[in-house]
């Protein structure tokens, strides 16, 4: 997820793009788009949580991207059809920007093009961290890596719950519950008011 806040969104977009954008509230479970649809909007999550997912070979949905703040489905800018579903997993406030308008701005506004490329570069760095995290074998290692790289001084907002976090870490929620309980027992982790905090290095 591109880690932008609404103020940064206003700084990224041109006045014309801001004028053509609209804000909407998506209820828990609501779809932003479905597989096979022609992309019409770029979506910016101002608050809440959105996942991109597709049906796996064994029936369970596979999560491709999870965003609590920032753009989702950036690749749709160059795609004829969506290759996954976009779904809000909690009540979410989302800005919709017409894809046609973004394409025109990229072709005609060099300053905006530069800002857009910078945003994508930051997203690439985040995805590299995610790939490194998923290469770790132990649940505790993955959790500690997430808290240290995406938390604020080791403090990470849990958002929509442990099951959602398990999906982000690529583990079962049962395994994550066991890990959390073990780390709390060993005084390596604190859970307080929706936040997870590292007490000391857990790896």
pLDDT tens digits, residue range 45-84? Answer: 988 889 888 877 666 777 788 888 888 888 888 889 998 9
pLDDT tens-place string over residues 143-165: 999 888 888 776 888 876 788 78
Same domain, 28 and 52: yes
Q: What is the CATH number of the domain that holds 75?
A: 2.60.120.10
* pTM exceeding the 0.85 threshold for the entire prediction: no
CB 93 within 8 A of CB 44: no
| Inside any domain, residue 1 | no
Number of domains the chain contains: 2
Bridge partners (DSSP) listed for residue 200 = none
pLDDT, position 173: 87
185: containing domain: 137-198
Q: Which of 131, 164, 184 is the last residue of a domain?
A: 131
Same domain, 89 and 153: no
Mean confidence (pLDDT) of the chain:
86
Question: DSSP class of residue 76?
Answer: G
């Amino acid at each position: 997820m591109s880690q932008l806040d609404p103020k940064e969104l206003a700084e990224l977009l041109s006045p014309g793009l801001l004028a053509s954008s609209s804000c909407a509230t998506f209820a828990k479970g609501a779809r932003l788009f479905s597989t096979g649809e022609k992309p019409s909007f770029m979506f910016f999550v101002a608050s809440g949580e959105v996942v991109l997912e597709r049906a796996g070979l064994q029936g369970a949905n596979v999560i491709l991207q999870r965003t609590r703040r920032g753009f989702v489905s950036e690749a749709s800018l160059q795609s004829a059809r969506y290759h996954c579903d976009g779904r809000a997993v909690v009540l979410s406030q989302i800005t919709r920007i017409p894809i046609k308008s973004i394409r025109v701005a990229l072709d005609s506004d060099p300053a905006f093009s530069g800002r857009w490329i910078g945003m994508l570069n930051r997203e690439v760095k985040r995805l590299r961290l995610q790939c490194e995290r998923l290469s770790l074998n132990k649940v505790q290692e993955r959790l500690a890596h997430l808290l240290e790289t995406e938390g604020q001084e080791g403090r990470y907002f849990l958002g929509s719950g442990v099951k959602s976090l398990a999906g982000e870490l690529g583990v079962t929620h049962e395994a994550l519950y066991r890990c959390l309980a073990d780390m709390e027992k060993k005084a390596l982790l604190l859970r307080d008011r929706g936040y997870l905090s590292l007490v000391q290095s857990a790896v």
